[in-house]
Structure 1
Amino acid sequence: MHWSSAAALALVAPASALLRFGCSQLVVERTDPLVNPGVAPSPHLHQIIGGVRHSDNRARIHTDTYQNAFNISMEAAAGDIAKKATCTTCQFSEDFSNYWTAVLFFKARNGSVHRVPQIPNAGFEGSNGGMTVYYMQDGLVNYQQTSKVTAFKTGFRMLIGEAMYRNRAQASKFRQITYTCLKTFGTRYPETMDFPKEPCNFGIMSNVRFPTCWDGKNLDSPDHMAHMSYPESGTFEGGGPCPASHPVRVPQLMYEVIWDTRQFNNKDLWPEDGSQPFLTGFGSHGDYMFGWLDDSLQRAMDSPCYVNCPTLKSQSISAMNQCSVPTVVDEPINGCKWNLVSCSCGA
């Protein structure tokens, strides 16, 4: 898949643009149309947010690739998902992109494994779980946001992280995936590559930062990563240059997910040997399929938008929560014991 246009690749004029917005959950199930297209159930559980065509027909929502926005296949040939979707769980109603992350599990002392629920971030109370999404011209340390960026294009998709990683040495490849122990609900530092070793008063925040340099041609790649790169030297936050192989600077896409670990804070539930009870942390990852309507994201990146953006249309949290999709994988996900692949209730 390629996108090429010398004129369109021209970088935009600097503007102070940083978008921060909440998205409610669309569905939590074993679906992964990026890595495991057409597979239901996919090998592991995801929580998914973003756009979909609202319908009561469960089969069509998930299997009719050419008529729906979100489904189990999501072939690039299906076209512009923003033109197929009719609602989105995200605050900006022109954003029909789909975003998803791995799900967190807690392994209790008795060996049972339980899914950890998500709660909305500060400022988005009332939304149905989900996560907070950022699009930045620069990292959060630069509040001026003056760098030039080119918005993603129709059909663009990418992945960061590896679902099968199980130790810190493996996960060190993705140092941009971090965790914060929330001592208060407003805690944001420090960020670590390891899960907290002690109970956190207000839960655990996972942070997922995607690469910021694009090769300017491929909308995807076989591993969903090779068409993207982090800066050649330094960091995105420090304005590091893009490598010659990936010369086009794109927005820093970032997810914040708050896991409500409070119900697991009793140390009597934790392993007696003091080992880490939260599973698949090193396998944390984020997936992205671009779906902004027309040029709305580029307009926002070209405008003086800081969190709120007058160039974009917004919707209420109630409207975000009302956008939903029936599950295609018919299995319970709450109140069950998991083995990380499937669950059994009443066990």
Structure 2
Amino acid sequence: MQWNSLVALALVAPSHALIRFGCSQLVVDRLDPLVNPGVEPSPHLHQIIGGNSFNTSMYPENHDPPKMSTCTTCQPSDDFSNYWTAALYFRARNGTYRRVPQKGNVGFEAQNGGMTVYYMQNQLADYAQKSKVKAFQPGFRMLIGSPLAGTKQEADKYPQLTYTCLQDMNTRFPETKAFPTKPCPAGIMVNLRFPTCWNGVDLDSPDHISHMSYPASGTFESQGPCPSTHPVRMPQLMYEVIFETKDFNSKEMWPEDGSQPFEWSFSDTTGYGNHGDYVFGWKDDSLQQIMDEECYVNCKTMKTQSFEAMNACSVPKKVDEDVGDTNWIEAIPGQHSGMPPM
């Protein structure tokens, strides 16, 4: 179903909040202030969106995104959070690499790369969105997935990290756990859905995951109950990252043995290592106000800015290296550094 149809159906009845918005690229850099704070460069390359207070460290005790940021690449002007994933590469037959750029989703074509972000109380197709949720709190951070996952069994620990091979920009199914094995005419969409049950105490945890949980039974989509250890229901945070593969879709460029040629920046050729990071940074209680409003995508309490303002926000790269944006490079940055792919 096309997104315009979803919006039209949403107008049939009152609903609680689901928001969907675009975020332009802030920077592509080898930094990871969540897993590797203070490390410059970090083990692998990331593409980052959100508030311009993003930096190498971002230790929670002295990092307040709404106060420290002066702009954000996201459409909601009160959202200074940072969201990031690994960068994606195409491997040529001669062993050289080019970084695969991102592009805007349907309705967000004017943004500069980046991704689409969702906050929802029930599954996307549930127009009522009746469940009440507690918004993320200042200082909250988390990640989902593992770059060390090398098998489907390991990837299945994170059931809602998938890929969609876009036949056109409205394709949403099927979803796979591994990279697509054939060229995707409109690009590869990487889908990242975070757990929705919080322990109600910790804003973070040593592994950045265990303070959050999946439902005790069922799924988020079936409104499964949260476990007693993680009783607080929070919004489902979801990323859609569309990698523009049009320059790499010719089968003459693909490996002669029929294998797929895409590789994450931490040297994963399976796709099972898909993962994403999040540092909360909404101003005051603006996210809670939106979640409490009866709205679907277009919410009166969500202040927005123009694509021009989104695209104008950026930070300079900290790590001076060729990441293969305009030319072929011999190796993915960091992957021959001797550092583990964390």
Task: Provide TM-score, normalisation by structure 2.
Answer: 0.89
Aligned to 1:321: 311
CA distance in 1, matches of 2:330, 2:295: 43
Q: Give the partner amino acid of 1:152.
A: F
Deviation of residue 167 (structure 1)?
3.2
Q: Secondary structure at the match of 1:87?
A: coil
Aligned to 2:135: 151
CA distance in 2, matches of 1:174, 1:114: 28
Q: Are 1:115 and 2:107 matched, yes or no?
A: no
8 Å contact 1:89–1:324 — kept in the other structure?
A: yes
Q: Deviations over 1:253-296 (max 9, x none)?
A: 00000011111111111111111211132222110000000000
Deviation of residue 94 (structure 1)?
0.2
Aligned to 2:37: 37
Q: Are 1:163 and 2:157 matched, yes or no?
A: no
Moved more, 14-23 or 31-40: 14-23
CA distance in 2, matches of 1:42, 1:158: 18
- Residues 98-113 of structure 1 aligned to structure 2 (within 5 Å): 98-113=82-97
| CA 1:205–1:271: 2 relative to 1, 3 Å | same
Deviation of residue 128 (structure 1)?
0.6
1:290 corresponds to which of 268, 280, 286: 280
Aligned to 2:290: 300
| CA 1:15–1:155: 2 relative to 1, 3 Å | farther
Aligned to 2:300: 310
- Residues 1-347 of structure 1 aligned to structure 2 (within 5 Å): 16-52=16-52, 69-280=53-264, 281-333=271-323, 334=325, 335-337=327-329, 339-342=331-334
Deviation of residue 79 (structure 1)?
4.2
Q: Deviations over 1:10-48 (max 9, x none)?
A: xxxx95100000000000010100000001110001000
8 Å contact 1:337–1:343 — kept in the other structure?
A: no
* Unmatched tracts of structure 1, length 5 or more: 1-13, 53-68
Q: Give the partner amino acid of 1:276.
A: Q
8 Å contact 1:29–1:327 — kept in the other structure?
A: yes
CA distance in 1, matches of 2:54, 2:42: 15
RMSD: 1.5
8 Å contact 1:15–1:147 — kept in the other structure?
A: no
Deviation of residue 332 (structure 1)?
2.1
Deviation of residue 313 (structure 1)?
1.0
Q: Deviations over 1:37-89 (max 9, x none)?
A: 0011100010000001xxxxxxxxxxxxxxxx321101010142211111000
What percent identity do the matched residue pairs reach?
Answer: 63
Q: Secondary structure at the match of 2:22?
A: strand
| CA 1:262–1:170: 2 relative to 1, 3 Å | same
Aligned to 2:10: none
8 Å contact 2:28–2:46 — kept in the other structure?
A: yes
CA distance in 1, matches of 2:89, 2:142: 24
8 Å contact 1:15–1:301 — kept in the other structure?
A: no
8 Å contact 2:81–2:281 — kept in the other structure?
A: yes
Q: Give the partner amino acid of 2:61.
A: A
CA distance in 1, matches of 2:121, 2:35: 28
Aligned to 1:60: none
Deviation of residue 135 (structure 1)?
0.1
Q: Deviations over 1:119-178 (max 9, x none)?
A: 111101111100000000001131211111000000000000112323323222222110
Deviation of residue 200 (structure 1)?
0.8
Residues paired across the two proteins, number: 315
